[in-house]
Amino acid sequence: MKRIRGGAAARSRADIRLPAAADPGKPVPAGTDPGFVTGNADFYRVDTALTVPRIDPGSWELRIHGMVGDEMRLSFDDLLRRPLVERVMTLNCVSNEVGGPYIGTAKWLGVPLAPLLSEAGIRPGADQIVARSAEGMTIGTPTATALDGRDTMLVVGMNGEPLPLEHGFPVRMLTPGLYGYAGACKWLTELELTTFAKFDAYWVERGWSAEGPVKTASRIDKPKPFARPAAGPVTVAGVAWAQRRGVKAVEISVDGGDWKPAELLPVPSIDTWVQWRYSWKATSGPHSLSVRATDRTGAAQTAARATPFPNGATGLHTITVTVA
């Protein structure tokens, strides 16, 4: 695979005309607030790349190998000739602190991984897919998450554009329900079917959990911490997420008092965040506001504080404001 100079990579990205999705999925429903979909320029970026890999899509190749019946090699055009699906999905980073910014939602265009794997023929026992990237990252994903019906895909488009260079151009993986380090390899070049017993991916070697299911979490975006709103009705708003399970309820507690239900705005699927809002009758003085989400299995977010290491932060997002 050839690497090309920055300008040339940017030109070839601009030249790409992505086919329309054969399966466009559910659109973002009416009634969401602006910001439900994160713009590409605003989407968080987390990677170890010192310089953004610049890959020529014309010579890019994906190799699917390891514990498979038939090794496969696919060009970028081979991928684009397959039926594409489009899905709105939320991606977040395991290193996000409670209340942190490393989460975003986009409309992803890609090739479902399951049919590719069944063409390659997975050998019994291959419980891990190790994705390798152009710059040497390895990301291990449970094989089951590519086969259990979720929209695990090889992504070529983000919000109606070819994948931006920083987000993995020309092809990245995305696994709904898993943190990025466990399912979302950017600048993808290889998928190796292997086992968790045989191989530790990059972050797993550094002590992070081998499997990275997303924990239920929620965040207050409005008002901002230390804001000074006027007394009277104040809209408290934010997002909550529990990809694969979905969010059933979001509740707010003022000054550690009873949990009160927030209103949930509509979602396209269980694989996106949900926007919530709560009308607070603010009284003068300092107040704390806390948020907690409950997923559709009925499990409430734990208040117990845990650091992001080794498998994602827990604890409730709490902010302090002073009402004038």
Binding residues vs ligand MTE (CB under 6 A): 43-49, 91, 93, 133, 137, 139, 167, 180-181, 184-187
**Which is closer to ligand MTE, CB of 208 or CB of 276?**
208
- Rounded Cα–Cα distance for residues 314 and 324 (Å): 32
Do 168 and 97 touch, CB atoms closer than 8 A? no
Q: How far is CA 169 from CA 40, 53, 118, 271, in A?
A: 13, 8, 25, 23
Cα 283 vs. chain centroid, distance in angstroms? 38
Query: Residue 313 CB, nearest distance to ligand MTE (Å)?
Result: 13
Smallest gap from residue 178 Cβ to Mo ion (A): 10
Give the nearer residue to Mo ion in terms of CB position, either 67 or 158.
158
Does residue 43 interact with Mo ion by CB under 5 A? no
**Residue reference for tokens 């695990």:** 152
Identity of the residue, 186 or 292, whose beta carbon is nearer to Mo ion in the bound complex: 186
Amino acid found at 10: A
* Cβ proximity to Mo ion, 57 vs 213, nearer residue: 213
* Spatial separation of the C-alpha atoms in residues 47 and 266, rounded to whole Å: 31
CB of 157 to ligand MTE, least distance (A): 13
Pick from 79, 160, 149, 71: which is nearest to 117 by CA? 71
- Residue from 9, 55, 91, 93 in contact with Mo ion (CB under 5 A): 93
C-beta of residue 68 within 8 angstroms of C-beta of residue 6: no
- Cα(17)–Cα(84) distance, rounded to whole angstroms? 13
Question: Least distance from C-beta 210 to ligand MTE, angstroms?
Answer: 14
Is 108 a residue that touches Mo ion (CB under 5 A)? no
Pick 194 or 290: Cβ nearer ligand MTE: 194
**In angstroms, what is the minimal distance from the CB of 241 to ligand MTE?**
14
Q: Is 174 in the site for Mo ion (CB under 5 A)?
A: no
Name the amino acid, one letter, at 147: L
Are the CB atoms for 231 and 282 separated by under 8 Å?
Answer: yes
Residue 218 interacts with which of Mo ion, ligand MTE, none, CB < 5 to 8 Å by class: none
126 near Mo ion, judged by CB under 5 A: no
Taking the CA atoms of residue 312, residue 98, residue 96 and residue 13 in that order, the dihedral angle to the nearest 10 degrees is 130
Q: Does 60 bind Mo ion (CB under 5 A)?
A: no
Q: How far is the CB of 315 from Mo ion (least distance, A)?
A: 18
Contact range with Mo ion by CB under 5 A, out of 93-101, 156-164, 170-178, 279-287: 93-101
Residue 37 in tokens: 């979909």
Question: Between residues 244 and 292, which has the closer beta carbon with respect to Mo ion?
Answer: 244
Binding site for Mo ion (CB under 5 A): 46, 93, 180-181
